[in-house]
């Protein structure tokens, strides 16, 4: 299973959700890999505590090799980082991704990640891809490489408009590049059940037939604490309500 967590809107919880679902997966005994495709490297920091120059080259190193290998050159290899958590491995992101992007686009390297993931799928049960807040080279590479896409959503009226164009773009990408891609659905994050507006918006989305998943992730300071401690929720506080919601979401998404 190769799942990409994507929404081009910033700050909706992509990295938090990718890392926490991956952590639940690892705790349940699945061999799990998270690939960070965002030059901001938030997931990398969250799962390792590393930042800046300390971070190994990871996915940027892989993409850099694809630029120098000709049609008969060696295959790009990727360095895998073992996080402090059992069963949870990481391919790190660095700021170098930003400078590589135009070169990768120019040389049409859009399918390289797909090939890499096919190889990695032999070693891992679950692969999660965290994406930057843009429909750019890395995001499209991920959507071509994955078999599932999960869309985090905050109940904000601006992101609601963007949601429709996002779903249309995913349909187009599916048709043109990856017919196997399954849009798993929209997961509402930072949900406040007692506030009227988010509930109303959620009801409207459901009434319009949008694929909203039946598990909402609550807003909790525990998430910030978890980022600060560089420890996903399942390790920090397994009994917390938000942790239990992640477990429920994980099990719902992986029941087949």
Ligand X SMILES: Nc1ncnc2c1ncn2[C@@H]1O[C@H](COP(=O)(O)OP(=O)(O)OP(=O)(O)O)[C@@H](O)[C@H]1O
**Positions that interact with Mg ion (CB under 5 A):** 14-15, 42
Does 219 contact ligand X by CB under 6 A? yes
Count of residues that interact with ligand X, criterion CB under 6 A: 19
Closest CB 251 distance from Mg ion, rounded Å: 24
Alpha helices in the chain (DSSP H): 14-27, 42-48, 58-68, 96-106, 112-120, 137-145, 157-176, 196-207, 221-228, 233-236, 241-253
Span of 9-17, 27-35, 64-72, 196-204 interacting with ligand X by CB under 6 A:
9-17
Q: Are 109 and 50 in contact (CB under 8 A)?
A: no
Does 133 contact ligand X by CB under 6 A? yes
3-state secondary structure of 15: helix
Q: Are 101 and 55 in contact (CB under 8 A)?
A: no
Does 113 contact ligand X by CB under 6 A? no
- x/- mask, ligand X, residues 178-217, rule CB under 6 A, reads -----------xx--------------------------x
Question: What tokens were used for 123?
Answer: 């070693």
Which residues, including other chains, have CB under 8 Å from residue 175's CB and lie 6 or more apart?
A: none
Does 220 contact ligand X by CB under 6 A? yes
Does 42 contact ligand X by CB under 6 A? yes
CA-wise closest residue to 56 among 38, 34, 78? 78
Q: Provide the binding-site residues for ligand X, judged by CB under 6 A.
A: 10-16, 38, 40, 42, 133, 189-190, 217, 219-220, 223-224, 227
């Amino acid at each position: 299973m190769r799942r990409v967590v994507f929404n081009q809107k910033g700050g909706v919880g992509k990295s938090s959700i990718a890392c926490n679902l991956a952590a639940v997966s690892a705790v349940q005994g699945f061999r799990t890999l998270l690939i960070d495709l965002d030059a901001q490297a938030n997931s990398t920091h969250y799962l390792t505590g590393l930042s800046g120059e300390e971070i190994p080259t990871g996915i940027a190193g892989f993409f850099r090799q694809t630029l120098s290998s000709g049609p008969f050159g060696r295959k790009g290899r990727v360095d895998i980082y073992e996080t402090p958590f059992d069963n949870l491995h990481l391919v790190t992101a660095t700021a170098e991704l930003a400078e590589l992007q135009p070169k990768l686009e120019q040389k049409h390297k859009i399918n390289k990640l797909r090939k890499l993931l096919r190889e990695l799928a032999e070693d891992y049960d679950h692969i999660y891809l965290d994406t930057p807040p843009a429909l750019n080279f890395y995001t499209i590479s991920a959507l071509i490489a994955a078999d599932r896409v999960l869309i985090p959503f905050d109940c904000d009226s601006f992101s609601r408009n963007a949601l429709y164009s996002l779903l249309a773009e995913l349909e187009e990408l599916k048709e043109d590049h990856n017919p196997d891609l399954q849009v798993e659905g929209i997961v509402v994050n930072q949900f406040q059940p007692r506030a009227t507006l988010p509930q109303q918006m959620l009801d409207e989305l459901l009434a319009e037939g949008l694929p909203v998943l039946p598990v909402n992730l609550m807003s909790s300071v525990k998430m910030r604490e978890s980022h600060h401690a560089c420890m996903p929720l399942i390790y920090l506080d397994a009994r917390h309500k938000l942790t239990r919601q992640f477990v429920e979401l994980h099990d719902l998404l992986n029941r087949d």
